[in-house]
Amino acid sequence: MPGSNPRPTWLAAALVTATLVVLTLSLLLGSAGLDIELIRSLRAPRVAAAAGVGALLAQSGLAMQALLRNPLADPYVLGTSGGAAVGALLALMFGVAMAFGAAAGALAAGALLVLLARRALAASDDASPRLILSGAMLAAVFGALATLLLTLTPDQQLRGAIFWLVGDLSGADHAGSTLIAAVLFMLALLARHRAIDRLLLGSEAAHLLGEPVRRLRLELLVCASLAAGLAVASAGAIGFVGLVVPQALRLAGVQRTCELAWLAPVGGAGLLMAADLVSRSVASPVELPVGAVMALIGAPVFIFFLARGGR
């Protein structure tokens, strides 16, 4: 019986333990004399932001992989993060809240992605290759737009904008909102876990089992886009968390959405906290962009799956 497999239980215990260890190291490592005020005012908000952003990115990737039935689906690869970054930069230029601009940009990128392959998405499971290719082209377009916007950024803000664009947690100030959003998104995935599992069998099978396929795909796309947009607004365009975490869990034997829905955010939080710890420690006192550290981890994984044909 599927429920009798003890592997997810041991994996969950190991994952939670590893995340707690990373959390402890992130809070205490490098704190001179374990300065409680330093930990409370500087380190804790940054670690909480890393946990929230990592959880949201992992959930966004999980939702997109269910939507497209493709292990290479990721908000960074499909251009959703790029659209959110462009929206955030425009919001910054016009004095609007970055979270609003990033969410609007992510939703626009997701809607554009669906429009580019709407026939394939509505008709059959052949949507996946077309959407992946369309998403890659969208990512390139949004990357070019972000570069053009950076040329219009005032010199005194340029360095900070570039650092933020490649992923930066030093100025993250939305820790509470990202953690709350991650919890809400987890509850939404848990509430729809049976429908998502049926969608993974194929659109025709899900339809025969009574699932409203189009509505479910729209819900997944909206939730994934909003999660990616909030993550980008908080810490910039950090890539590959949504690719690495769900696939690592699946390779470890976790397949059901009811388990992935909470293990993915825990794993995403732990992975990004670890990447942030590395970015702060490797070249101390100089901080490396956490997005660059994640790219060094995620890009080889992406190439590995691509070489295997996306299996």
Report the CATH number that the domain containing residue 194 is assigned in CATH. 1.10.3470.10
Token pair recorded at residue 19: 């995340």
Q: Which long-range contacts (CB under 8 A, 24 or more apart) does 277-282 make?
A: 277/22, 277/25, 277/26, 277/29, 280/30, 281/29, 281/30
pLDDT at 3 over 50: no
Asked if the structure places residue 83 within a domain, the reply is yes
265 and 249 in contact (C-beta within 8 Å)?
no
Count of domains for the chain: 1
Asked if the structure places residue 160 within a domain, the reply is yes
Query: What span, in angstroms and rounded, lies between the C-alpha atoms of 16 and 296?
Result: 24
pLDDT in tens, 203-222: 778 778 788 888 888 888 88
Please give the torsion angle defined by the CA atoms of residues 250, 252, 255 and 259, in that order, rounded to the nearest 10 degrees.
-110
Query: What span, in angstroms and rounded, lies between the C-alpha atoms of 183 and 55?
Result: 9
pLDDT in tens, 283-308: 777 778 888 888 888 778 777 766 76
pLDDT in tens, 86-130: 888 888 778 777 778 888 888 888 888 777 766 655 555 445 566
pLDDT at 310 over 70: no
Banded pLDDT at 185 (limits 50, 70, 90): very high
Single-letter amino acid, residue 195: A
- Tell me how far CA of residue 141 lies from CA of 102, 170, 189, 303, in angstroms: 16, 27, 30, 21
Mean pLDDT over residues 161-165, rounded?
Answer: 74
159 and 289 in contact (C-beta within 8 Å)?
no
Of 133, 107, 130, 106, which Cα lies nearest the Cα of 118?
130
Asked if the structure places residue 249 within a domain, the reply is yes
Query: What span, in angstroms and rounded, lies between the C-alpha atoms of 165 and 153?
Result: 13
Q: Annotate 32-53 with b (16+ C-beta within 10 A) or e (fewer).
A: eeeeeeeeeeebebbbbbbbbb
pLDDT at 132 over 70: yes
pLDDT in tens, 225-281: 889 888 888 888 888 898 889 988 888 888 889 999 999 999 999 999 999 888 888
Asked if the structure places residue 1 within a domain, the reply is no
206 and 198 in contact (C-beta within 8 Å)?
yes
Query: What span, in angstroms and rounded, lies between the C-alpha atoms of 158 and 132?
Result: 32
Residue 2's pLDDT is 46
Q: What is the mean pLDDT of the chain?
A: 81
Torsion angles phi and psi, residue 310, rounded to 5 = 80, 10
Query: What span, in angstroms and rounded, lies between the C-alpha atoms of 246 and 254?
Result: 9
Q: Annotate 224-239 with b (16+ C-beta within 10 A) or e (fewer).
A: bbbbbbbbbbbbbbbb
pTM of the model: 0.86
How many C-beta neighbours within 10 Å does residue 150 have? Answer: 14
Share of the chain above pLDDT 90, in %: 15
Of 73, 66, 74, 69, which Cα lies nearest the Cα of 257?
66
Asked if the structure places residue 271 within a domain, the reply is yes
Of 176, 143, 179, which Cα lies nearest the Cα of 291?
143
Domain that holds residue 88: 50-307
Mean pLDDT over residues 125-149, rounded?
Answer: 78
Asked if the structure places residue 4 within a domain, the reply is no
Residue 182's pLDDT is 93
Query: What span, in angstroms and rounded, lies between the C-alpha atoms of 153 and 162?
Result: 10
Asked if the structure places residue 39 within a domain, the reply is no
Query: What span, in angstroms and rounded, lies between the C-alpha atoms of 200 and 219?
Result: 15
Asked if the structure places residue 282 within a domain, the reply is yes
